[in-house]
Amino acid sequence: MTDNMAIERSRTVAVVGTGTMGQGIAQVALVAGHPVRLHDTAPDRAREAAEAIAGRLGRLVEKGRMSPDERDAAAGRLSVAEALDDLADAALVIEAVVERLAVKQELFARLEKTVADDCLLATNTSSLSVTAIAGKLRLPGRFVGLHFFNPAPLLPLVEVVSGFATEDTAATRAYATVKQWGKTPVRCADTPGFLVNRIARPFYAEALRLYEEQAADPATIDAVLRDCGGFRMGPFELTDLIGQDVNEAVTRSVWDAFHQDPKFVPSLAQRRLVESGRLGRKTGQGWFAYTEGAERPAPRTEAPAPAPAKVTVHGDLGHAEPLVALIEAAGIKLRRQKRGGHFTLPGGGHLMLADGEAVFEYEGEEIVYFDLAHDYTTATRIALATAPTTSPETLQEAVGLFQALGKEVTVIGDVPGMIVARTVAMLVDLAVDAADRGVASAEDIDTAMRLGVNYPAGPFEWAALLGYEKVSQLLGALHTRYPTGRYAPCLGVVRREYEERAR
């Protein structure tokens, strides 16, 4: 039923604004079979964009992704509109102009006088309110957000954003249309940051906070989140790619939009980086150097240590249970005890999964924390944390154990929640809160985070792996140690924890 509501391929799609994003969106609609009309206020820019798109279609032919006949047919459907009046017959107009509210409002006010009343109007804004852009329109019900990700021809995700006045038929029509184009649409209410930019904030924010707390250097934090957490890129290399100024501006925008909620607090360290002009790849220097011949700093990795002869497993290790099979496969003698939820090393030290507490709190005990991994079987690195009072012998036994399992080992500072566990707990918290506020479904949130930012699992998938009791425990312990409200678990996490216990 939804698919039947898609705009017919014979109908014209117009794109206003022909920068990188506008060109990408136009190419997607063109390849999907629509006549596409480009318009830009800058003289000759639309014509230059049409030539650039034709060039990219040619490269698709060279790569075998499009036949010459398909390229010629697509090029024949692409045209330039010198004036807005030339868009009068469009069934869909997508705007991709500068991110300024007044500019977008003025554009759509003019478009509304040009197109038919059944024409769908859409903005590709990534940071402005869809509701506000449509606020002065005569027919705001037909207005939606279609947030494509750059590069639009390659990335599958499109956030279909409903403003306060958007009619369901308009959102459904937009959803069906981009799905027909071969994209993966997700529905989202008009909220600061929409889905990806709202829920992804902890991925950057916790890494920056850990850096400020001197838990580890940027290269090491990146390596742990990649090699242990399963994330495609680390937050420091990713923000260098995005641009530190862009990433910090999005963070600050979301923080301000949520009335400076402590869960979205920007980083002073990132602010200083932006102020220094070190914006990442585009300036040749960000967290890392990108000048010719520059070498990336290596993450902290421990030297080889002997494997312990035996290990005792106490109780159920939960998500870390696969480590037991790895230990047995490594030929290390294994004993099991019924109670606990941790390992005991030969020297008597305890090896525990990060739970939001710090090692220094265990006075008189030999404790080593290990970080959360997405998949302990495939993870290539494990992070450990100890207190200054932990003996070198206990640490070496822990290092040797994980090295015997084929993992590189990184030792970080003694910070509550470590790196991966802390980040994932916050991602789950923001996702649950968004779902419970009707921003999007759990399924759409998971899809958005997997496709939009290449996470190894969506937040609800992480929660299913860990259990809400573990997530709530992590957040509660962090909140006790950082009583600012940043880590206080949302009501939805607590509710799900109780429901989980009752099953």
Active-site entry in 39, 95, 112, 147? 147
Helices (H), 32-158: 45-62, 68-77, 101-112, 130-133
In order, the DSSP letters of 207-270 are HHHHHHTTS--HHHHHHHHHHTT--SS-HHHHHHHH-HHHHHHHHHHHHHHTTS-GGGPPPHHH
Rg (CA), the chain: 26
Active-site entry in 124, 162, 197, 472? 197
Tokens of 308: 């312990």
Torsion of CA 398, 403, 405, 409, to 10 degrees: 80
CA–CA separation, 337 and 193 (whole Å): 47
Tokens of 200: 């992804």
Query: Phi-psi region for residue 58, left (φ > 0), alpha (ψ -120 to 50) or beta?
Result: alpha
Strand partners of residue 343: 313, 351
The verdict on whether 126 is a catalytic residue reads yes
Active-site entry in 39, 95, 124, 126? 126
The verdict on whether 147 is a catalytic residue reads yes
Positive/negative CA dihedral, 87, 88, 94, 98: positive
User: 323 to each of 160, 302, 306, 328, 401, how far by Cα in Å?
Assistant: 41, 20, 18, 9, 10
Pairing verdict, β 333-337 and 310-314:
parallel
Active-site entry in 95, 159, 206, 357? 159
For tokens 């692409």, the residue is: 78
Give, as one character, the DSSP assignment of residue 388: T
Q: Biggest alpha carbon distance in the chain?
A: 80
CA–CA separation, 455 and 27 (whole Å): 26
Q: In 3-state terms, what secondary structure has residue 449?
A: helix
The verdict on whether 197 is a catalytic residue reads yes
* Residue 191: partners with Cβ closer than 8 Å, 6 or more residues away: 198, 434, 437, 439
Phi first, then psi: give them for residue 137, nearest 5 degrees: -75, 155
The verdict on whether 408 is a catalytic residue reads no
Burial classification of residue 421, based on how many CB atoms lie within 10 Å of its CB (0-12 exposed, 13-18 middle, 19 or more buried) = buried
- The catalytic residue positions are 126, 147, 159, 197
